[in-house]
Amino acid sequence: MSKQFKFLDWNIYVDSKALYTRILSLANNLPREQRFEITSQLLRACLSVSLNIAEGSGKSSDKDLPRYLDISLGSLYETLACLDILSNNKQIDGDTFISISAEISSLASRIGGFKKSLL
């Protein structure tokens, strides 16, 4: 891919897409009554991680990218909060919550490390 769309090759972007795919699969298996409330917010928050990485990479100043990475991190935290609420209300099982939480933690650490490497 061209240098113009450099984010497509970044591991944090690739992994954020994989996380979204996993969350989408989980959301599709939730009871119908949950799909229009917290599930909508969960999907928007998780999608925001990838979109902010991409948007930040396209800004004219390299100083903008760390700000967008911060927004991505915030979206990861929001994703985890939605999952915690679903877990607390027995909408997802504990093992699923622990597994996805570990994935989110790893991605958050790597986004944070990438951000530090830019400063």
Q: What is the pLDDT of residues 6-52, one digit of tens each?
A: 999 999 999 999 999 999 999 999 887 766 788 999 999 999 999 99
The total domain count for the chain is: 1
DSSP string, 16-39: HHHHHHHHHHHHHTS-HHHHTTHH
User: Is 39 within a domain?
Assistant: yes
Domain that holds residue 87: 9-27+34-118
- H or E stretch including 83? helix 64-88
User: Is 3 within a domain?
Assistant: no
* pTM confidence score: 0.92
